[in-house]
């Protein structure tokens, strides 16, 4: 078992990789009342072109499959919904999809192990039918329409489209009404069987745990131990140049909102955490509340509050984002 220790924070992370490829990470917190777990897979919205491990066939799936799959994972063969089951246990469950991963999680003070039974059961045993997939399209369609009416999300997505020509990060995580109409149970099973293999997943727990005992508890609840071939993802080449410099749309807002993007090369050969911290420091030096630029913009009434300053990155993209509200966004 690998141990990563931070002597300043006096914390340790215990990492064990099982024979089936699953990575388990435990952060013990002696005396903590709350426990937190996450079961995640390295599969997000940008993973839409890959080789099927079962047939070696190259396929492209519709936009929004990772998010659609996340929604459908809770529905069980016996007619129950795992989200309801977990809530009835008194735990706080959730799930989310990003560009590069999907995660299922919960936090609780009581009923931890009954909830762990449910979490590991539904993530390892999907149940898709023509009927339940069709029903979900209406629900996700409403979510897509909701985001289309969200000015903040529209500004963000337009920034992605201005920066990225080919990278699928310029596609909405939930897809579109048209793209989700092409999703069926076979598409979902293909994506699940490719990306929800344990060697592509990680299980993280934080709380008052005896590490080795907890790892054994996770092992007992693993129902699929087969190790499948390496996942072959196919990504388009992306130029470093941007697509276009600006775009403006009209929506109902009290004050104009803006997002400025700086495209970076997706270079993970460097120390990416050190790079992220350095860029965060630079951004706050340039536009944080104590900066000269912020003070000048604020006094002139050009900016209402400190902008959001972010550096987003993965193996396939990297960029700086500066976003906020301004009476004079240009």
Regarding whether 264 and 209 lie in a shared domain, the answer is no
Residue 249 is assigned to a structural domain of this protein = no
Residue 152 tokens, joined: 């903040």
Regarding whether 318 and 185 lie in a shared domain, the answer is no
Regarding whether 285 and 206 lie in a shared domain, the answer is no
Nearest to 30 by CA among 59, 3, 10: 10
Q: Say if CB 199 and CB 20 are below 8 A apart.
A: yes
Q: Where do we find the tokens 């959001």?
A: 308
C-alpha dihedral, 89 to 90 to 96 to 102, nearest 10°:
-40
Regarding whether 173 and 229 lie in a shared domain, the answer is yes
Beta strands in the chain (DSSP E): 2-6, 11-17, 23-28, 35-41, 49-51, 58-60, 92-97, 102-108, 201-207, 232-233, 257-264, 308-313, 318-325
Residue 222 is assigned to a structural domain of this protein = yes
The pLDDT value recorded for residue 272 is 85
Residue 203 is assigned to a structural domain of this protein = yes
- Residue 40 CA from chain centroid, whole number: 9
What are the CA-CA distances from residue 50 to residues 22, 123, 187, 232, 233 (Å)?
21, 21, 12, 6, 4
What are the CA-CA distances from residue 251 to residues 4, 245, 258, 302, 320 (Å)?
48, 20, 12, 20, 24
- Work out how many domains the chain is built from and give that number: 2
Regarding whether 205 and 92 lie in a shared domain, the answer is yes
* CATH code of the domain in which 299 resides: 3.30.830.10
Residue 80 tokens, joined: 């129950």
Q: What stretches in the chain show pLDDT beneath 70?
A: 225, 227, 268
Q: DSSP of 291-314, one letter per residue?
A: SHHHHHHHHTTS-SSPPEEEEEE-
Regarding whether 181 and 215 lie in a shared domain, the answer is yes
Q: Which residue among the candidates 5, 58, 70, 88 is catalytic per the annotation?
A: 70
Annotation marks residue 248 as catalytic: no
Residue 178 is assigned to a structural domain of this protein = yes
The pLDDT value recorded for residue 164 is 96
Regarding whether 297 and 166 lie in a shared domain, the answer is no
Regarding whether 194 and 79 lie in a shared domain, the answer is yes
Regarding whether 286 and 223 lie in a shared domain, the answer is no
Regarding whether 110 and 218 lie in a shared domain, the answer is yes
The pLDDT value recorded for residue 53 is 87
β 232-233/49-51 pair status? antiparallel
By three-state DSSP, how is residue 233 classified? Answer: strand
Residue 224 is assigned to a structural domain of this protein = yes
Residue 168 is assigned to a structural domain of this protein = yes
Domain that holds residue 109: 2-233
Residue 28 is assigned to a structural domain of this protein = yes
Regarding whether 224 and 268 lie in a shared domain, the answer is no
- Residue 45 CA from chain centroid, whole number: 9
The pLDDT value recorded for residue 224 is 76
Residue 195 is assigned to a structural domain of this protein = yes
Which three-class secondary structure string do you get for 283-296?
Answer: HHHHHCCCCHHHHH
The pLDDT value recorded for residue 55 is 86
Please tell me the pTM assigned to this model: 0.90
Regarding whether 229 and 262 lie in a shared domain, the answer is no
Rounded to whole angstroms, the Cα distance separating 3 from 105 reads 23
| Residues 6 or more apart whose Cβ sits within 8 Å of residue 45 | 63, 64, 66, 67, 97, 98, 99, 168, 169, 171, 172, 173, 175
């Amino acid at each position: 078992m690998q141990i990563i220790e931070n002597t300043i924070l006096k914390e340790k992370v215990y990492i064990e990789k099982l024979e089936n490829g699953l990575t388990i990470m435990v952060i013990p917190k002696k005396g903590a009342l709350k426990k937190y777990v996450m079961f995640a897979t390295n599969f997000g919205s940008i993973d839409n072109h890959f080789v099927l491990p079962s047939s070696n066939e190259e396929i492209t799936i519709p936009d929004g499959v990772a998010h659609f799959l996340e929604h459908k994972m809770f529905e069980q063969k016996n007619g129950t919904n795992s989200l309801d089951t977990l809530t009835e246990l008194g735990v706080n469950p959730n799930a989310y999809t990003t560009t590069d991963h999907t995660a299922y999680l919960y936090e609780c003070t009581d009923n931890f192990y009954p909830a762990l039974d449910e979490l590991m059961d539904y993530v390892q045993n999907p149940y898709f039918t023509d009927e339940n997939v069709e029903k979900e399209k209406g629900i996700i369609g409403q979510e897509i329409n909701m985001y289309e009416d969200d000015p903040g999300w529209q500004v963000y997505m337009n920034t992605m489209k201005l920066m990225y020509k080919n990278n699928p990060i310029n596609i909405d995580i939930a897809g579109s009404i048209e793209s989700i109409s092409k999703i069926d149970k076979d598409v979902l099973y293909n994506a699940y069987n490719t990306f929800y293999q344990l060697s592509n997943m990680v299980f993280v727990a934080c709380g008052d745990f005896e590490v080795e005992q907890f790892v054994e508890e996770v092992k007992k609840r693993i129902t699929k131990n087969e190790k499948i071939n390496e996942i072959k993802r196919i990504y388009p080449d992306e130029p470093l140049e941007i697509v276009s410099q600006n775009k403006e749309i009209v929506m109902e807002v009290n004050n104009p909102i803006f997002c400025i993007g700086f495209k970076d090369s997706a270079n993970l050969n460097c120390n990416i955490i050190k790079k992220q911290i350095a860029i965060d420091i630079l951004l706050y030096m340039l536009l944080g509340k104590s900066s000269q630029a912020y003070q000048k913009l604020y006094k002139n009434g050009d900016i209402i509050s400190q902008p959001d300053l972010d550096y987003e990155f993965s193996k396939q993209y990297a960029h700086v984002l500066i976003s906020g509200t301004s009476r004079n966004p240009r």
